[in-house]
Amino acid sequence: MKNQQEFFIKMAIAAWSLQIDRASKLFDSLTDTQLQKQVSENRNTGVYLLGHLTAIHDEMLPLLGVGEKMYPALGEVFVKNPDKSNLDKPLPHQLRMYWKEINSTLLLKLNAIDTNEWFDRHAAVTEEDFRIDPQRSKLNILLIRTSHIAYHIGQVVLLKK
């Protein structure tokens, strides 16, 4: 039975990795110039979406209780503020580096989380709220964030010729 639980966790991590790999290949296939374009008229640029996904994944480290954010400044630029803020953005080659670094660190940490721990509450939910809604677990964060990558890949892919 324990085996089947571990199996499910592995499946969820595999689904996550699949999206990360697709996103990585997609970002690698785009030049910096392509990445600086908007995915559609008046919409986010590829650079913003790369920064946004990177920042959200960085925030997963404390959310899952496996570490501190590696690049805490990203959240201000790519989560709390829109693309058209006047905030300075890191250059594409820096963002590409952060993307790789954060995701490889995160994947190592995901693989090290104990099976039972995945069913614990994540850091943004209180003990009381978790009693009311026990689905707000670490595992749920992983499932939701997996869809989140897919959502934005669907947009970034529009930058391809």
Q: Which residues bind its own copies (CB under 8 A)?
A: 1-2, 4-5, 7-8, 10-12, 14-15, 18-19, 39-40, 43, 119, 134-135, 137, 139-140, 143-144, 146-155, 158
CB of 1 to its own copies, least distance (A): 4
1 or 132: CB nearest its own copies? 1
CA distance 138 to 114: 11
12 or 70: CB nearest its own copies? 12
CB of 42 to its own copies, least distance (A): 10
Element (H, E) at 41: none
81 or 135: CB nearest its own copies? 135
CB of 17 to its own copies, least distance (A): 11
| DSSP string for residues in 12-25 | HHHHHHHHHHHHHH
Q: Which of 21, 25, 19 is nearest to 144 (CA)?
A: 19
CB of 35 to its own copies, least distance (A): 15
Task: Output the CA–CA distances (angstroms, integers) from residue 133 to 111, 114, 116, 136, 137, in the order listed.
Answer: 25, 21, 17, 6, 9
Tracing tokens 């913003």 back to the chain, one arrives at: 48
52 or 71: CB nearest its own copies? 52
Q: Which two tokens stand for residue 62?
A: 């404390």
22 or 69: CB nearest its own copies? 22
Any idea what the Cα angle at residue 103 is, between residues 8 and 142, rounded to 5°? Answer: 35
CB of 153 to its own copies, least distance (A): 6
